[in-house]
Structure 1
Amino acid sequence: MTAHRVNDLFGNPDSLREKGIPLYIQVKKAIQSAIVAGRLLNGDVLPPERDLAKYMDVSRVTIRKAIDELVKEETLTQRQGAGTFVSERVEQPLNHLRSFTEVMRDRGKETTAKWLDRSLGIPHEDERQALQLEPDQDVVRFYRLRYADGKPMALELATVPSHYLDNPFAIDGSLYEVLEEQGKRPVRAFQRLRAITVDDQRAQLLDIPELAAVLYIERTGVDKEGVPVEFTRSWFPGDSYDFVAEIHDTH
């Protein structure tokens, strides 16, 4: 990236100076301003540290400290051997029941998946309770790593009662589209969200650091009769999503 490009992103370097403010904070604010103003977009690569340091007349240590802060805040993402990028975030409404495939398709992204497990078996206790099943009723499980435009975006473990879908290999794309063909697509869902850290195995699959924070969501989808038809657990990288909800005053 050329010096001219750095100038396009950050303007006059003299305008970045603020008395009494640590230099790394000033660099951090300059990068944040470029993102807010749309000069740096989701997925854009940041100029090399040496170019930023030369242009802003600070040390590379200062640049690195500013970048490290923004990585911790999940504004930036670092990929080994590729550079530092503006984190790509997907805004996903929590008050609309959409499948992963549908959400990404609406954003013009190509979805693919790596299958980690497809199996038929007896439900675990949490699955049995969520799906209101008897202990001897079978379930089908679909565990996969979901990608959007080649980037790992979610780990998803979906469980469906076998009397709705008894073939673990019947799903290739959207689970909801297959359930819709059966007349059993969920029309409402109950979701529980919390921030957790992930183990090394899940971190490697999602291409994030071990013990990195993710958003964990449990969702129980019910049909129009109120009968549970799916129980899904999902792990979403914190630097990839903004989950939003519309809130109404109940008074």
Structure 2
Amino acid sequence: MTNQHGSLFARLESILADESRTPLYKRFAAAIKDAVREGVLIHEQILPGEREFSQSLGISRITVRKAMDELEKEGMVIRSRGYGTQICSQFEYSLKEPKGLSQQVVLRGKKPDTVWINKSKIRCNAEIAEKLGLSGGSEVWQLKRIRYVDQQAVSVEESWVSTQLIADADDIGISLYDYFRDRQIHPVKSQSRVSARMPDEALQLQIALPVNVPVLVIKQLALDAQGNPLEYSISYCRSDMYVFIAE
């Protein structure tokens, strides 16, 4: 047993010993997610097998298997016959519902962060005006940032939002959509277009992209329940770290 696995088993024993109405397999799965978020487990690390978990923790293999099924569905682990269960190094991002990257990251047991490059008011061009349903030359917020998952830079995002929806961009923290939700603005659907291209030198430096790894370019329009445009964004995402889910 490695030192990291020893720490993991100690954590699991403590959590599983607590009295709770939450099913055992769900507490097991939650403990694994917490361990990834806190760095006890790292990306691409191989987990102990079902038998080792079962014998060391005194729980059934069915409980372990159900927990791993749940973690696999959430994109936290990858399982393969003859190789074992591995902490997933890729991040699954749903294009179906505009929850925002930060919320999707948290729901998968990971830690989001943002480094803002720019928050400024500009006069929008014809393309942005059309996307947001504004007149040409209307004033909008231009927001640009580097986005992180578990301290790893994964994308550069530029977005545009009407000044009617944001009073002061300095009030936006890590998540624009948290800012929206706090003000009862609710993105409920999105229109997305995905393409790929090789990054320029500046983008490679911003997200520490290995040579010859392309970026996925995600152009996305977020809308409210009435179909009103809320945000238009263009994201340049590391293709080696993202898996996009459309269904």
Which residue does 1:242 correspond to in 2? 243
TM-score (norm 2): 0.63
Displacement of 1:40:
6.9
Please list every run of 5 or more consecutive structure 1 residues that lacks an aligned counterpart in the other structure.
1-7, 9-33, 44-87, 247-251
Rg comparison, structure with higher value: 1
TM-score (norm 1): 0.63
How is 1:132-171 mapped onto 2 (pairs within 5 angstroms)? 132-171=133-172
- Counting aligned pairs with the same residue, the percent is 23
Please list every run of 5 or more consecutive structure 2 residues that lacks an aligned counterpart in the other structure.
1-45, 47-77
Paired amino acid for 1:233? I
Name the stretch that deviates more: 195-204 or 182-191: 182-191
Tell me the alpha carbon deviations over residues 166-198 of structure 1, each in whole angstroms, 9 at most, x when there is no partner: 312121121112112233221111111111111
Say whether 1:113 aligns with 2:158.
no
Paired amino acid for 1:129? E
Displacement of 1:216:
0.7
Quick one: distance in 2 between partners of 1:167 and 1:123? 18
Tell me the alpha carbon deviations over residues 5-24 of structure 1, each in whole angstroms, 9 at most, x when there is no partner: xxx9xxxxxxxxxxxxxxxx
Tell me the alpha carbon deviations over residues 189-228 of structure 1, each in whole angstroms, 9 at most, x when there is no partner: 1111111111110111111135531111111111122111
Paired amino acid for 1:41? Q
Paired amino acid for 1:230? E
Say whether 1:227 aligns with 2:228.
yes
Paired amino acid for 1:194? S
Q: Structure 2 vs 1, CA of residues 125 and 42 (structure 1 numbering), >3 Å: closer, same or farther?
A: farther
Which residue does 1:57 correspond to in 2? none
Displacement of 1:125:
2.6
Say whether 1:36 aligns with 2:80.
yes
Which residue does 1:3 correspond to in 2? none
RMSD (Å) for aligned C-alpha atoms = 2.4
Quick one: distance in 2 between partners of 1:157 and 1:211? 23
2:99 touches 2:187 (CA, 8 Å); kept in 1?
Answer: no
Quick one: distance in 2 between partners of 1:134 and 1:94? 28
Q: Structure 2 vs 1, CA of residues 130 and 211 (structure 1 numbering), >3 Å: closer, same or farther?
A: farther
Paired amino acid for 2:135? E
Paired amino acid for 1:36? S
Which residue does 1:200 correspond to in 2? 201
How is 1:24-173 mapped onto 2 (pairs within 5 angstroms)? 36-37=80-81, 38-39=83-84, 41-42=86-87, 88-173=89-174
Paired amino acid for 1:190? Q
Quick one: distance in 2 between partners of 1:125 and 1:209? 35
Instruction: Give the count of matched residue pairs.
Output: 172
Quick one: distance in 2 between partners of 1:92 and 1:161? 25
Paired amino acid for 2:148? Y
Paired amino acid for 1:221? A
